[in-house]
Amino acid sequence: MDNLIFFVVSDSVGETGELAVRAAVSQFRPTFKNVEIRRFPRVKSFEELYEVVQLAMQEKAIIIYTLVEKEMRQKLYTTALEQHVAAIDLLGPMIELLESSMQQAPLERPGLTHKLDDDYFKRIEAIEFAVKYDDGRDPRGVLLADVVLIGVSRTSKTPLSQYLAHKSLKVANVPLVPEVEPPVELFAVDSKKCFGLIISPDNLNSIRRERLKTLGLNDGAIYAQHQRIQQEIEHFHRIASRIGCEVIDVTNTAVEETANVILDKIRAQA
């Protein structure tokens, strides 16, 4: 058999069927010489199945199918049998085994695996976004973000950004320092997607002192002094007021709790 022709028939995109064909064929023809794999995606009707089988008969192709609906699988099987076309059902036996073992009917909804893939890649994209636009590195991200976080140093902006990114939200965060004018993009953003993070001065003092010790520095540095902290907090409130964003007190609050507050607000706005 010089030429091998495979028709991959699917009610979704046909990626699973093609991967299976390639895995099997590689055991006989690693270079895939004289091998043709043709996808027939999103097949939804008996008429389409019949047309594929007729074409397969003419071209002497082997049909590989991944159909989640039982009626569609049965129709393709009987039609291919009648026309003496070789057809292999990849999903049917496994679905039927799981149905019997679990005593539960399958959903029979095409494309669920592909949807999971889309969700995965969306989450990865959000994580990469959070890294790229962390700590005000590139203010252009503020206008591209789903959520914008502002706050003084050590208010958990970065861990919160990463947590929300794992929920597939693109997050940019901007630190506020009295000596540095905030980026103009911050005042052009929709105030509903911007959240200010505030913490009590005493807690912030304690956190900053521990941070300085970790870095091997004197914990009495200006960075951790109450007067400096108060100055930064006052500056924060001025900026938050200009933006008109909601302010969340993160004092003694876990990142997950703060994230849930933000997620609830976003869902309420949708």
Nearest-angstrom CA–CA distance, 153 and 108:
51
Angle in degrees, CA 171, 237, 230, rounded to 5: 110
Q: Give residues with Cβ within 8 angstroms of 114, minimum separation 6.
A: 12, 13, 15
In terms of residues, how long is the chain? 270
HEC-encoded secondary structure of 108-150: CCCCHHHHHHHHHHHHHHHHHHHHHCHHHCCCCHHHHCCEEEE
Q: Give residues with Cβ within 8 angstroms of 175, minimum separation 6.
A: 135, 136, 150, 151, 152, 153, 157
Tokens of 228: 């400096």
- The SS3 of residue 70 is helix
Nearest-angstrom CA–CA distance, 98 and 82:
29
Tens-of-pLDDT digits for all 270 residues of the chain? Answer: 689 999 999 998 898 999 999 999 999 998 889 999 999 999 999 999 999 999 999 999 999 999 999 999 999 999 999 999 999 999 999 999 999 999 999 988 887 776 667 788 899 999 999 999 999 999 999 999 999 999 999 999 999 999 999 999 999 999 999 999 999 999 999 999 999 999 999 999 999 999 898 888 888 889 999 999 999 999 999 999 999 999 999 999 999 999 999 999 998 887
- What's the Cα-to-Cα distance from 168 to each of 11, 87, 208, 264, rounded to whole Å? 27, 40, 30, 15
Phi/psi of residue 66, nearest 5 degrees? -125, 85
Annotated binding site: 151-158
Global pTM value? 0.63
Phi/psi of residue 44, nearest 5 degrees? -120, -15
Residue with tokens 């399958």: 106
- What is 114-269's CATH topology? Rossmann fold (3.40.50)
Q: Give the per-residue pLDDT at 218.
A: 87
Report domain extents, the chain. 4-110, 114-269
Facing residues of 147 across strands?
Answer: 171
Answer for the pair 240, 150: CB distance below 8 angstroms, yes or no.
Answer: yes
Nearest-angstrom CA–CA distance, 122 and 127:
9
Q: Give the per-residue pLDDT at 238.
A: 97
Nearest-angstrom CA–CA distance, 133 and 170:
9
Annotated binding site for ADP: 151-158
- What's the Cα-to-Cα distance from 219 to each of 193, 207, 224, rounded to whole Å? 35, 10, 7
- What is 4-110's CATH topology? Rossmann fold (3.40.50)
Q: Give the per-residue pLDDT at 65.
A: 97
In this structure, what DSSP letter does residue 186 have? Answer: G
Q: Give the per-residue pLDDT at 269.
A: 86
